[in-house]
Amino acid sequence: MTVEGLKVFILGLVQGLTEFLPVSSSGHLVLMQHAFGMTAPELLLDICLHVGTLAAVCAVFYKEILHLATVLFGLSGRIRKAGGIRALFDKHRDFRMLVLIGFGSLPTAALGLIFRTHSDALFGTTRVAGIMLLVTGVLLFLTRRRSGPGRPIEAMGIRDALLIGLAQGMAVLPGLSRSGATISAALFLGIKRETAGPFSFLLSLPAILGALLLEMRSALTPSPVSVKMLLAGAATAAVVGFFSLKLLLRFVNQGRLSMFAPYCWVLGIAALFFSL
């Protein structure tokens, strides 16, 4: 394996693991750049890595995505049959999920656009990553106090979706785990574990697609990375992401999300040490 191939493999591995496990992929990228003298992934490679993790989410939740697509394409008829949008929202689980994802995406999009103008400054410092990794650890640790069966998707409201979407939007900060922030927020709001995990990752789909569209506008120049390496990176991120996502969902359902807190704290302290 060439040096370039090894770099792509490592980036795909890190992307697949840290995109889903609540330990912050952006925080790891910042630390890798500073500790090992690596540069940020070339833009087209970065897009391919995210396509890989997007494919992993679709593979794990393909049934839920098909249900949502079915509701969307037959929406007008379902609204008439139910007697209005509100009635359909109250009666139809998949339509409620679709609406909640839509509302949850609003604060994510707003915060993403606001922070995008400051992304270079934020992603260029290990101090921000270190502080946010410590915050992530605290959030994960506090989920231990979550008790009770929790509310299913049928009992979730617009307010819940907006607050979870706000947590997802804040996760643009390097070191603040997207999955950690959104799942923790859902658990703090009293959402049942078996609902919090899937909702978090279904909510991530519009955010990932939106980020990819914004990046693609700047990726029109030829890439120095070969097509073979781009595909290899995407495949690595997809395969590793699939299994890491399955693993995380198991931990969430078992109430063991807090087990990742010590790792985030150690990594956060290391990041602050590098920033001195």
**What pLDDT does residue 260 have?**
95
pLDDT in tens, 147-165: 778 899 999 999 999 999 9
pLDDT at position 69 over 80 = yes
Segment 57-63 shows an average pLDDT of: 95
Report the run of H or E that residue 189 belongs to, with start and end.
none
Residues facing residue 151 across a β-bridge? 191
Question: 3-state SS of the chain: helix, strand, coil percent to 5?
Answer: 80, 0, 20
Residue 174 CB neighbours (<10 A): 26
Q: What is the pLDDT of residue 136?
A: 96
CA distance 33 to 124: 9
pTM of the model: 0.90
pLDDT tens digits for 129-146?
A: 899 999 999 999 999 887
Task: Give the pLDDT band of residue 58 (cuts 50, 70, 90).
Answer: very high
Question: Rounded to whole angstroms, how far apart are CA atoms 31 and 267?
Answer: 9
Provide the mean pLDDT of the chain. 86
Per DSSP, 192 falls in state -
The token duo for 52 is 């890989």
Find the range with the poorest average confidence among 185-194, 204-213, 264-273: 204-213
Band of residue 221 on the pLDDT scale cut at 50, 70, 90: low
Helix 93-116 to helix 62-73 angle (10° resolution) is 100
For the four alpha carbons of 10, 12, 15 and 17, in that order, the dihedral sign comes to negative
Q: Looking at residues 50-61, what average pLDDT do you find?
A: 92
Nearest to 150 by CA among 104, 89, 193, 116: 193
CA distance 64 to 20: 18
Looking up tokens 């574990």, which residue turns up? 193
Q: pLDDT tens for residues 84-126? A: 889 989 888 999 999 999 999 999 999 888 876 665 566 657 8
